[in-house]
Structure 1
Amino acid sequence: MESSQASYTQTDLVKYFLRLGTLGFGGPPALVSAMHRDLVMERGWISEEDYREGIALAQLAPGPLAAQLSIYLGYVHYGVSGATLAGLAFVLPSFVMVLALSWAYVQFNGFPWMQAIFYGIGAAVIGIIAMGTYKLTLKTVGKDTLGWVLFAISALATALAEQEILGLVLLSGGIYWLVKTSDFFQTGVGSGYAPFLLQALTVPTDSLLWKLALFFTKAGAFVFGSGLAIVPFLYGGVVKEYGWLTEQQFLDAVAVAMITPGPVVITVAFIGYLVAGFPGACVAAVATFLPCYLFTVLPAPYFKRWGKHPGVRAIVDGITVAAVGAIAGAVVVLARRQLVDVPAIVIAVGTLGLLYRVKKLSELYLIGGAALIGLLLRYYT
């Protein structure tokens, strides 16, 4: 990759993802929308075509959606070094914050105040991601009738099933290709890489850190969809199968992920810390993110090489439309779980209204205000 192709430096890219990883709340829907708004629409660093290719690859590969998209966007102009630095810059801020919260959680035997803060922030986040998804949908689908049909089907299926349906996303790509182009693949485009299997999966050991590494490698390598999709998998393992955490500890782990910026999947660091301290947090984070890094970087050259083929572009467009539909469906799922009473609904609707009326309002102010409202509602009502 030649840096001369870019209108920005690699340092600019790292600074952007450090900022997004430090201040980006709202989980996958909000983060994916923010990258589109900032890098495609406002700065013009990334083309719409490259963004669509990135989100399509992130949907096709297992692992957390937002982290994979950041890695791919780093790859676009700066290759492997850009992908590596962008991914690290995006993940590290939230990792450090989660480590600090993990230490405090252990020292003070839980967070009685956390649920109050999470109540307010969680409601505001619904408004933030709803606005982000609305803008992303208008930009991605536009006036494409077929796109709106595929979007609606994906959104409805995700909302009803409460999880992203990978087969539907792939089917959307196929349908879009069939309708939009009559070209057939003549080049035998393949995935270009062998399935990623860590040799460690076959190593018998009773070490707790090895058990953590194996479990979280599976989480990173075999769970598809956004970071939210990993939560049921983690629950089944750390609570039900291994008994590493209690039900309440696991709920607190998810809350920590939601009240900290950056990728939701960073909750693995909190879980690792509770199980095996600082080494456990590091092992859990590396084991989860390494597969998604490899699954993004290894096929990236093939996406870049064949991405402009009309047939490939049609498939990518179809997958992208379905992916945005799945994000919209995820907003509905999150809203059902988070907006449990009138005050929560008022916070969410108020946040949405403010974002709609005040174009450049910082989301950080909304998050801080919602946290304060949550505390006041808990302790003074």
Structure 2
Amino acid sequence: MEQGVTARSTPTFQELVTTFARIGCLSFGGPAGQIALMHREVVEERGWISEDQYLHALNFCHFLPGPEAQQLATWIGWKLHGWRGGLAAGLLFVIPGALVILALSILYAAAANLSWFAALFLGIKAAVLALVVQALLRIAGRALDTRLKQGLAFAAFLALALFALPFPVVVLGAGLIGFVVAALRPDLLALKPAGDAMPLPPRPWLASLKSVLVWGTIWALPMVLVLTLLGRDHVLWQIGSFFSQLAVVTFGGAYAVLAYMAQEAVNGFGWLRPGEMADGLGLAETTPGPLILVTQFVGYLAAFRASDPFTPLVAGILGAALTTWVTFAPCFLWIFAFAPWIERMERAVRLKGALAAVTASVVGVIGSLALWFGGHVLFRTYAAGLPVWSSLDWRAGLLTVLCAVLLFRLKWGVLPVLGSAALGGLFLAQI
């Protein structure tokens, strides 16, 4: 029996399912709130996982692309009931929010041309801008504890905001720098030595290879069907291909990857208009589950607007389902393939250095996102890539200030701020 999990504290499979169904329906507040909720449920109240195991697993999940909270849920299920438990916990963490986002996406596409709906989302976009700034400050406070990390964050900001370099290039470049620096000067990244440890178990090559083959096939299966039935030129192939690539580089959570997603979805593929990306994040903020479910909103609208040979509704649902599949199937692949290696990865100093550098660069990425959002929320018109100052929307500015006061001064939660901003948008639209 694993240390920290006794026979008394090990749940039945039904208890695991019931608990994670509850967590999936209550997991509001982004990764910080979701991680805290799972800690209370499985560590503090039930004792299924020890404190050390939980923290080690959380560190491990930070090494992986994708939503760390959902991957942590999958790891907990895997630790307690093998692949069956991991599958149940991971799916139950995602499904409630995915169903709600799908319903809201359908409503959004049907009502986007209504004036009251536009007014409602004016407030939501202002709240999202304040939330992005809050996320930026929180992550910067935790991540930028050395001069080198601060420099990496600033370089990432310039690379995206000024030079428009692709997001994957920025993140992978930072990871490479961190890998090299960790080998030469780990103190520059504030890395702690691994210290003494118990002997390591045998390397689980066979189990990892089997997981990669099984989940790689599951990941690719819908894409094979789309390619066979609809071809490479169809929007569903474009959606599946793009979000499959995104699943490999989503280090730093939804806020970090949103800048790259927005750049491609708006300017690259033309699936969305600039303000709609903020609308989608606003919807994701109001629902349980990972914030990366905003990808489902993008997939729905992209397929809804290029629906042939389906009806718009059917195409939208297919686009949303495909997006969710290729976003989260890789999460199960990472966990089932690499979880047996967790003890070894905890002692990999160079890997920790790469992660520390990536986390630092993510601060700059989120700063670029805040700048992009701010411009498209506060200004109605752009010329030569810059906002036209005369097009400043005073209503959006007022609502953004209000949301900042509620978040930073009065310490309101996400849902009350979003609700107040939406009502404020409806009220100001009458003026």
Is the shorter-chain TM-score for this pair beyond 0.5, marking a shared fold? Answer: yes
Q: Tell me the CA shift for residue 117 of structure 1.
A: 3.9
8 Å contact kept, 1:220–1:288: yes
Structure 2 residues not aligned, in runs of 5+: 158-169, 304-314, 375-396
Instruction: Tell me the alpha carbon deviations over residues 62-85 of structure 1, each in whole angstroms, 9 at most, x when there is no partner.
Output: 222222222112211111111101
Most deviating of 240-249 and 188-197: 188-197
Match of 1:299, SS? helix
The answer as to 2:96 corresponding to 1:114 is no
Q: Tell me the CA shift for residue 105 of structure 1.
A: 0.9
TM-score normalised over the length of structure 1 = 0.72
The answer as to 2:206 corresponding to 1:179 is no
8 Å contact kept, 2:20–2:89: yes
Q: Tell me the CA shift for residue 106 of structure 1.
A: 1.6
8 Å contact kept, 2:259–2:368: no
Structure 2 residue aligned with 1:140: none
8 Å contact kept, 2:254–2:291: yes
Q: Tell me the CA shift for residue 23 of structure 1.
A: 2.7
8 Å contact kept, 2:175–2:358: no
Percent identity among equivalent residues? Answer: 26
The answer as to 2:319 corresponding to 1:292 is no
5 Å matches for 1:166-315?
166-167=175-176, 175=186, 179-181=193-195, 192-193=208-209, 205-206=231-232, 207-274=234-301, 275=303, 276-303=315-342, 307=343, 312-313=346-347, 315=349
- Taking only aligned residues, the RMSD between alpha carbons, in angstroms, comes to 4.5
Distance 1:316 1:4 in 2: 36
Structure 2 residue aligned with 1:358: none
Give the 3 Å change call, closer, same or farther, for CA 49–334 of structure 1 in structure 2.
farther
The answer as to 2:376 corresponding to 1:343 is no
Q: Number of paired residues?
A: 352
Structure 2 residue aligned with 1:73: 76
Counterpart residue identity of residue 263, structure 2: G
Q: Identify which of structures 1 and 2 has the higher relative contact order when contacts are C-alpha pairs closer than 8 Å and 6+ apart.
A: 1
Match of 1:278, SS? helix
Counterpart residue identity of residue 255, structure 1: G
8 Å contact kept, 1:67–1:263: yes
Q: Tell me the CA shift for residue 351 of structure 1.
A: 4.9
Distance 1:318 1:272 in 2: 33
Distance 1:220 1:262 in 2: 17
Most deviating of 17-26 and 331-340: 331-340
2:420 is aligned, of 373, 376, 381, to: 373
Structure 2 residue aligned with 1:91: 94
Q: Tell me the CA shift for residue 334 of structure 1.
A: 10
Structure 1 residues not aligned, in runs of 5+: 138-146, 355-365
5 Å matches for 1:319-338?
322=356, 333=367
2:103 is aligned, of 72, 83, 100, to: 100
Distance 1:232 1:167 in 2: 21
Distance 2:40 2:51 in 1: 11
Distance 1:48 1:91 in 2: 24
The structure having more radius of gyration, on CA atoms, is: 2
Instruction: Tell me the alpha carbon deviations over residues 20-48 of structure 1, each in whole angstroms, 9 at most, x when there is no partner.
Output: 33232232333234333443344432222
Counterpart residue identity of residue 96, structure 1: L
TM-score normalised over the length of structure 2 = 0.65
Counterpart residue identity of residue 179, structure 1: P
Q: Tell me the CA shift for residue 377 of structure 1.
A: 3.1
